[in-house]
Structure 1
Amino acid sequence: MAHEAFKALEARDRNRARDLLARLIKLNPSRVDYWVWMSTVVDSAKERVFCLREAQRLDPQNVMARRGLTVLGVLPVDEALVVPYATQKRSWQPSLLKEAEEQKKLAAKAWKQLAVYAGAAVLVIFLISAAVYGANKLFQPSTQASGPSGAFLANATPTPLPTNTPLPGRGVTPTPTAPWGDLQLSPTPLYAATAHPRTEAYRSAMRAYERGDWAGALSYIQQVIEVEPDAPDLYYLMGEIYRFQGQTDEASKAYETAMEKADFAAAYLGRARLRMESSPKFTNDTIRADLEKAAEIDPQLGEVCLELARLDMNDAAHLDEAGQALDQAAKLMPDSPEVDLLRGEVLLAQGKAADAVQALRDSIERNPANLATYKLLGRALQLNERYADSIEPLQTYIQYSEPDAEALAWLGAAYAGQGKYEEALETLDKAVALNSKSFEALYQRGLTNLALKEYKQAVKDLSNAYVLNMDSFDANLALARADLKIDATKEAFALFEASENLSRSDADRVQVYYYRGTAQQEYGSISAAIRDYRALLEMPTDLVPPAWSKEIRARLDQLVSPTPTATRATSTASPTARTSKTPAKTATSTPRVSKTPTPTPTRTPTPRVTPSQGVTPSQGVTPTP
C-alpha cells in the first residue's frame, strides 16, 4: 500500500494519495514518514501543521518535519536546516545530469572519429604527393640543379571543434524548492482551471490565496484582469478574497460582475455563502435561489449540495432534506472531508449521537488531518456520556487550532462529567477569559457551578448565557433549575414552560418532564407532577436514563398511594396547565460547529430576574455556535 501511495504522490493524484496515506496511518500511526507525506496532500495550512507536528512529536529531530514547519512559519529559521545551494536537488536536475553525461560521451566519440578521419586524410595526401613527385622525377631530365633537395610541406587547416550549445532556458538560475520537492502543498480546489495568458501572475495569485495572503492574491488577480477583463473566474476569485476579509460590499460587487460576464455557477455559490454569513440580513429563500441557480448552471458542482445541507440544518423541520443534500454531495465529492463533517452535524441535530460518533470516526480515518472533525467528535462523545473518551479529540483540536473558547468549554464539560470540578472550572475560566461572550463557555461554567452548589454564581453565568441566546433550550432549562435553588420559583416555572416550547426532540422533553415534575412535587403541585412523570414514562425507553425511570416509578407509586404523602407546606407557584402535545421527532439542541449559523427570530423574553452585570438585554440574541 505504501508503494501505491508513493506512486500516487508522484502522479500528483492527491485524492488517492490522501486516501492511501490515511489507511497507512491508521495501520501504523507511529510512522514519521507517513505523516510527513500526508502533509503534502491535505487541504489547508492548519492540517499541514497538524501532520508535521505529529511527525515532529514522534521524532523531534526529523529534518523534513522541522523544515516544513519552518516553511509554514510555525518554527523560526534554523540555519542548520538550510540546504546549501550547491547541494540542492531539484526535480529537473537528474535529466540535466543525464543529458550532460550523454553530451560528454558524444563529444569523446566525435573526437575519436575526427582523429581517425584526420589521420586518413594525411595518409591520402602523402600518398598522392609521393605519386606526383615520383612521376615528375621519372619524366624530368637526369641533370639536377645544385642545392638541397626540395621538402614537401602540408599546410592543413584544422577542423573546428564541436561546441555544446546550451538548451533554451537552461541558463536561468532556479529558485530553491521546499523540502518536500516539487509536490504541490494542498492547493485550494478551484472551480475551473481556466487558462490565462499571464500564467505566472495567476499562479502567484493562487499561491498567495492558498497561504491566506489576501492582499498579495488580490494584487496578482488585478494584474491578470488588466489583460483579461472579461474572464468571469477572476472576478469570482476576487469576490472570495473580499469575503474572507469581511469586505461584504466589495465581495458582492465582484460576484455580480462575474455573473454579468457569463453564467458562472461559482459566482452564485459565492454570493450565497456571503449571504449566509450576513444572515439575517438575507432570507433563506434568497440564499436558496442563488444555490439553485448555481446547480442549474452546473449540476456537477458538489459544493452547492454542501451549502444546501448547511441551509437546511438551520431549520429542524428540514434535517431530512439536509441528509439528502449530503447524499448527493457525497456522489459528486467522494473524497471531501466536509461531507463527513456535515453528516456528523446532521446526525447530532437529529439526536443520533451514537451514529454521529461513528460517522465522525470514519471521517477521521479518511482524513486524520481534518481538525474540525476532532472538535465535533469530542462533543458527540459527551452527548453519549463518554466524557473520558471525549478529552483526547478535544485536546488534539485545541493543540493545533487557533484559540477556541467553545472547544475549551467542551473540554471543561468533559472534566465536569467525570467529577473533576477543579480542572473543569480552571478550563472554563480560560474559555470565558478568551471570549466573555461565548455562550458555551458561560453555559458550561454555569452548569459546573450548579453541580458544585455555587448557586449564585451559577445563576449569574446562566443568566448571561440566556441573554446571549434566549431561544436556547439548554439555557432556559438550566436557568430554571438554578432559579429554584435561590427560591426564584416564579421565574423558574416560567422558564420550564419556555423550555417545553423550545424543545425540539423527545430527548429534550424527557429532561423537561423530569426536572419540572420534581419541582412540582417539591412545591406541592402533585397533580401537575404526576402528569409530568407519566409523560416521561411514555417516552421511548432508550431516551430515559434507567436511574430516572426507576426513580420516577417509585415516586408515582408513592404519590398515587392512598397513604398521605408528606409535601412542602407552601406552594409558592403553580405552573399553567399544559395542553398535551404529541412529540414531534425533531432535533436535539446540540451546539454545532457550522461556519455560518443562521440565528432564529428572537422571541419575547420570558420575565425573569435581571441578568448579572456585564451582559445587557440590549445586546440582542447571538445564536449558539
Structure 2
Amino acid sequence: MSFQQESITPQEAMFNEAMSAIQAGDRPRARDLLTRLLKIGQDNPDYWVWMSAVVETSKERTFCLKEALRLNPQHAAARRGLILMGSLPPEESLVLPARYQKRNWQAKASALEGGEQSKAVPKSQFALMGVALVVVLGLIAFAFFGAQRQFMRRTSAPIIFIPSDTPAPTVETTPTALQILSGSPTPLWMILKATYTPTPLYINTPHSSSEAYRIGLRYFGRQDWKNALTYFKQAATAEPTAPDIEYYLGEIHRAQGNYPQALQSYNGVIKDTPGFAPAYLGRARVTLALNEKNVESALIDLQTAIEKDGSYGEAYLGLAELYLQTGENGQALEALEQAEIRMPESPLVFLYRAEAYLALKDAGQALENARRANQLDVTLLPAYRLIGQVLQSNGDLAGSISPLNVYVTYQPDDAQAWAMLANAYLDQKNARDGLKALDQSLRLDNRQKEAYLLRAQLLLDQDKAESALNDFKAASRLDATSYEASLGIGKALMAMKYPGDAYMQFERTKALAQDELQNAEVIFWRAQSLEKLGQLEVAQRDYKALTTLPAGSVNAEWVEYAKERLAAMALLTPSPKPKTATPTITVTFTRQPTKTKAPTATRQPTRTSTPSKTPLPTKTPVPASPTPTR
C-alpha cells in the first residue's frame, strides 16, 4: 500500500536528524543540531527539553529545563526534569507511568521487535513526539549522560579523564558578545560554534549486580555529592572489595571538603589494591588540601601513581599542579610535556602550561597556550581569566575586557577577576563600569588593598573625598607600610580642606617613600598643604626643591606646577627680613574630620629669632591654580 508522505520543513528535518543522533548515542551531533534549532527558534520549549538531554553539566541542564518551563509552564517533561534535578518539589501527578520506565536494554529489545526503521516525523506528529519521546527518551538520556567536569586549578573535580580521539572543534577564541536570555547568562555552548567533547572516565567498571553503582555514577557526574554518596555507600555494601567504589567514595568526600574521610577511603584502596593508580593521585590532593606544606608526601604519591600506571596522564597533570603551587615552573613544564604525550588534546595541559609561562614572565608563550586551551574547550572558564590576566601583564588592558567579561558572567564570585576587569575599565576611562566592578570585587572580598586603592582614587577624581578617605584608610589598615594608601589619605584630606591634617599625613608618608620619584611626590603635595596653611616661605622652599631635582626623579607636571606657584608667590613683595633659622611648623591634627566641621586653625610658625617689626605687605590677589593630579 502506497501513501504520500506529508512534506516537512527544513527545521523539522533538522529536528528529526537530532532525534536520530540521540537514539544513535551521537550526543555531539545532536547538540550541534539542537543549538542551530534554538538559534532559529528559541521559543520552542521542546527544543530546550531535548537540549537538556545532551548538554554536559547540571547547570546547563537546569538552565534548559527552566527555559522550557518558562515558555510553557504546563510542560510535563520540563517539570519532571526539574523535579529529578532537585529544582522543583515532587508532584504525584507527574510520576512516569511504569510502562515507560524501561532500562536501556529493554528499549533496544522493543525496537528490535518492532522491526521498523525510523521515519521522518511529519508536522502533525510533533505534539505526540513532544509528549511521548520527550518524556521517555529525553529524561532517560540526560539521566544517563550527565558526566560533567571541573577545570578550576587547585580544586580539580574528582572525575578522571583519559585522552580523547575526538578532534577539537574550530572556534573563536572568545565570544564577541554575551547573549542574555530570561535575565540569566546563556550557556557558552549556545553562543559559540562548538564545545569540547569530554573524554570518558578512567574508571567506569561495570557492576552488573549493583544498580546503586550506576545511579551513584550519574549523581557523581552531576556533582550531586549527597545523593552520589548515598548510592555509592549502597554499592559498597553490595561489593565491599571493589576498589573503584571505595575510590569514588574518597573523591566524593574530597569534593565535600571531608578530607579525613577521603584520606581513609584512599588508604583503604591502596592497602587492598596497591596497584590502583588513581587512589595515589587522590591521596596526594587531599594531603595538600589538609596542609599545603605536605609537598614531599604529595610528591611521593604522585610519583607512585605514575609508577603504577605510566599511561596515566592525569597523574602528570597533578604533578604539574604541585610544581606550579611550589613555584617550580620549569619542572611543571617538564611534567606537562609528559601529560601532553598521554593526553594530546587536553585543554588542561595548555592551561597549566600558560600559567607556568606567565609565572616565568614569558607573556607570548603564556598567551599562546591560554588561547589554545580556550580553543580546545570554549567552556573552560579559567582559560578566559588567564587570557585576560596575560593581556594585562602585557599592557593590553583594553583587550582583556572581553575575556574577563565572559569569565565573570559565568564565574561571578571571583573577587580578583572583578578587580582586574575594573582596572581595564578604568584604563579605558570607563569610570561607571569600573566603579561597579570594584564594588562587586570588594563585596566578595574586603581584604583587597589594591581594589581599595583603585576605588579610592576613582572616588577622589569624582570629588567624593570623604568616601575616598574611607577607602584609603581601609587600604592602610590592610597594609600599614603602603605608600600609596598613606599618600592618598593626605590627598583626600587636602580635598576636604584640611591642610593641617594633610601636612601631618605627608610628613608620615615621607618615611614610606621607596624611591626618588615617590620622595618628590611627597614634597609636591607637602608644598601645597603648606601653601594652604599660609606657610609661604617653607612652601617656596619645597617648590624650589622640586625644580632642582634630576629629570628622571620627578614628574614634569609637578615641576611645571611648582614653577607656576613660585612665580605667583614672587608677586608678593615682603619687606626685607633678617636671616632666621628654619621655622617650625605647628599644626593640629584632626583625627576624624567631617564635612560640617570647620577646618582646624593653624598657628603661625614659631621663629627662633626676632623678625623685623615692619608690617607685613598687602598680598596681591593670586588666581587659584588648579591642583594637578598625579
TM-score where L is the length of structure 2: 0.55
Give the drift of 1:496.
Answer: 5.8
Amino acid at match of 1:185: G
1:206 aligns with 2:217: yes
What are the Cα deviations for residues 341-377 of structure 1, in whole angstroms up to 9, with x where unaligned?
3233333333344544443333233222223333333
Give the drift of 1:319.
Answer: 1.8
Of 52, 58, 81, the match for 1:45 = 58
Q: Distance in 1 between matches of 2:54 and 2:338?
A: 24
1:259 aligns with 2:270: yes
Amino acid at match of 1:96: S
1:327 aligns with 2:373: no
SS at match of 1:212: coil
1:363 aligns with 2:324: no
Of 421, 424, 437, the match for 1:427 = 437
Residue 382 of structure 2 is matched in structure 1 by 372
Residue 291 of structure 2 is matched in structure 1 by 279
Amino acid at match of 1:412: A
Say whether the 8 Å CA contact 2:53–2:139 is kept in structure 1.
Answer: no
Residue 436 of structure 1 is matched in structure 2 by 446
Give the drift of 1:203.
Answer: 0.9
Residue 257 of structure 2 is matched in structure 1 by 246
Q: CA separation of 1:438/1:521 partners in 2, compared to 1, >3 Å: closer, same or farther?
A: closer
Q: CA separation of 1:198/1:74 partners in 2, compared to 1, >3 Å: closer, same or farther?
A: closer
Amino acid at match of 1:216: N
Give the drift of 1:292.
Answer: 1.8
Residue 415 of structure 2 is matched in structure 1 by 405
Say whether the 8 Å CA contact 2:54–2:141 is kept in structure 1.
Answer: no
Where structure 1 has 5 or more consecutive residues not aligned to the other structure, the ranges are 103-173, 498-511, 535-550, 559-569, 573-609, 611-625
Q: Distance in 1 between matches of 2:67 and 2:60?
A: 13
What are the Cα deviations for residues 267-317 of structure 1, in whole angstroms up to 9, with x where unaligned?
22112212333334x33223222222222222222222222222222344x
SS at match of 1:176: helix
SS at match of 1:305: helix
1:178 aligns with 2:138: yes
Give the drift of 1:202.
Answer: 0.6
Q: CA separation of 1:302/1:415 partners in 2, compared to 1, >3 Å: closer, same or farther?
A: same
Say whether the 8 Å CA contact 2:50–2:138 is kept in structure 1.
Answer: no
1:296 aligns with 2:257: no
Instruction: State the number of aligned residues.
Output: 447
Q: Distance in 1 between matches of 2:479 and 2:520?
A: 25
Q: CA separation of 1:259/1:455 partners in 2, compared to 1, >3 Å: closer, same or farther?
A: farther
Say whether the 8 Å CA contact 1:302–1:333 is kept in structure 2.
Answer: yes
Q: CA separation of 1:97/1:260 partners in 2, compared to 1, >3 Å: closer, same or farther?
A: closer
Within 5 Å, which residues of 2 pair with 1:184-199? 184-187=145-148, 188-189=159-160, 190-199=201-210
Amino acid at match of 1:184: F
Amino acid at match of 1:99: E
Q: CA separation of 1:93/1:340 partners in 2, compared to 1, >3 Å: closer, same or farther?
A: same
What are the Cα deviations for residues 455-498 of structure 1, in whole angstroms up to 9, with x where unaligned?
7755754665576689xxxx95754764674665676566565x
Give the drift of 1:200.
Answer: 0.8
Residue 577 of structure 1 is matched in structure 2 by none
Mean alpha-carbon deviation: is it higher for 198-207 or for 360-369? 360-369
SS at match of 2:331: helix
Q: CA separation of 1:8/1:425 partners in 2, compared to 1, >3 Å: closer, same or farther?
A: same
Give the drift of 1:55.
Answer: 9.7
Larger RCO (CA under 8 A, 6+ residues apart): 1
Say whether the 8 Å CA contact 2:340–2:349 is kept in structure 1.
Answer: yes
Residue 310 of structure 1 is matched in structure 2 by 321
Give the drift of 1:433.
Answer: 2.6
Q: CA separation of 1:423/1:490 partners in 2, compared to 1, >3 Å: closer, same or farther?
A: same
1:391 aligns with 2:351: no
Give the drift of 1:201.
Answer: 0.8
Give the drift of 1:252.
Answer: 1.9
Residue 99 of structure 1 is matched in structure 2 by 113
Q: CA separation of 1:448/1:310 partners in 2, compared to 1, >3 Å: closer, same or farther?
A: farther
Q: CA separation of 1:41/1:446 partners in 2, compared to 1, >3 Å: closer, same or farther?
A: farther
Q: Distance in 1 between matches of 2:522 and 2:278?
A: 55
Give the drift of 1:11.
Answer: 6.7
Query: Considering only CA atoms, is the larger Rg found in Structure 1 or Structure 2?
Result: 1
Say whether the 8 Å CA contact 1:205–1:216 is kept in structure 2.
Answer: yes
1:336 aligns with 2:346: yes
Residue 445 of structure 1 is matched in structure 2 by 455
Say whether the 8 Å CA contact 1:341–1:373 is kept in structure 2.
Answer: yes
Q: Distance in 1 between matches of 2:17 and 2:354?
A: 30
Say whether the 8 Å CA contact 1:67–1:179 is kept in structure 2.
Answer: no
Say whether the 8 Å CA contact 2:506–2:522 is kept in structure 1.
Answer: no
Say whether the 8 Å CA contact 1:208–1:216 is kept in structure 2.
Answer: yes
Amino acid at match of 2:147: S
What are the Cα deviations for residues 413-443 of structure 1, in whole angstroms up to 9, with x where unaligned?
3322222223322332233234434567546
Residue 588 of structure 1 is matched in structure 2 by none
Q: CA separation of 1:207/1:29 partners in 2, compared to 1, >3 Å: closer, same or farther?
A: closer
Q: Distance in 1 between matches of 2:315 and 2:452?
A: 35
Where structure 2 has 5 or more consecutive residues not aligned to the other structure, the ranges are 1-13, 117-133, 149-158, 161-200, 492-501, 527-541, 561-581, 585-590, 592-630
SS at match of 1:324: helix
Q: Distance in 1 between matches of 2:394 and 2:466?
A: 29
Q: Distance in 2 between matches of 1:431 and 1:208?
A: 33
What are the Cα deviations for residues 511-532 of structure 1, in whole angstroms up to 9, with x where unaligned?
x886678669999899x9869x
Q: Distance in 2 between matches of 1:347 and 1:29?
A: 40
Say whether the 8 Å CA contact 1:40–1:186 is kept in structure 2.
Answer: no
What are the Cα deviations for residues 382-427 of structure 1, in whole angstroms up to 9, with x where unaligned?
4444444433433333333354433333333332222222332233
Say whether the 8 Å CA contact 1:517–1:530 is kept in structure 2.
Answer: no
Amino acid at match of 2:221: E
Within 5 Å, which residues of 2 pair with 1:114-153? none
Say whether the 8 Å CA contact 2:374–2:380 is kept in structure 1.
Answer: yes
Q: CA separation of 1:313/1:465 partners in 2, compared to 1, >3 Å: closer, same or farther?
A: farther
What are the Cα deviations for residues 143-163 of structure 1, in whole angstroms up to 9, with x where unaligned?
xxxxxxxxxxxxxxxxxxxxx
Q: CA separation of 1:496/1:193 partners in 2, compared to 1, >3 Å: closer, same or farther?
A: farther
Amino acid at match of 2:443: A
Q: CA separation of 1:390/1:493 partners in 2, compared to 1, >3 Å: closer, same or farther?
A: same
Say whether the 8 Å CA contact 2:49–2:65 is kept in structure 1.
Answer: no
Q: Distance in 1 between matches of 2:402 and 2:72?
A: 25
Q: Distance in 1 between matches of 2:522 and 2:488?
A: 11
Say whether the 8 Å CA contact 2:277–2:305 is kept in structure 1.
Answer: yes
Amino acid at match of 2:278: A
Residue 166 of structure 2 is matched in structure 1 by none
Q: Distance in 1 between matches of 2:470 and 2:51?
A: 47
Say whether the 8 Å CA contact 1:66–1:75 is kept in structure 2.
Answer: no
Give the drift of 1:4.
Answer: 13
Q: Distance in 2 between matches of 1:289 and 1:467?
A: 41
Q: Distance in 2 between matches of 1:285 and 1:453?
A: 54
Amino acid at match of 1:431: S
Give the drift of 1:325.
Answer: 2.2
* Percentage identity across paired residues of the two chains: 31
Amino acid at match of 2:400: S
Q: Distance in 2 between matches of 1:242 and 1:453?
A: 52
Aligned-pair Cα RMSD in Å: 5.5
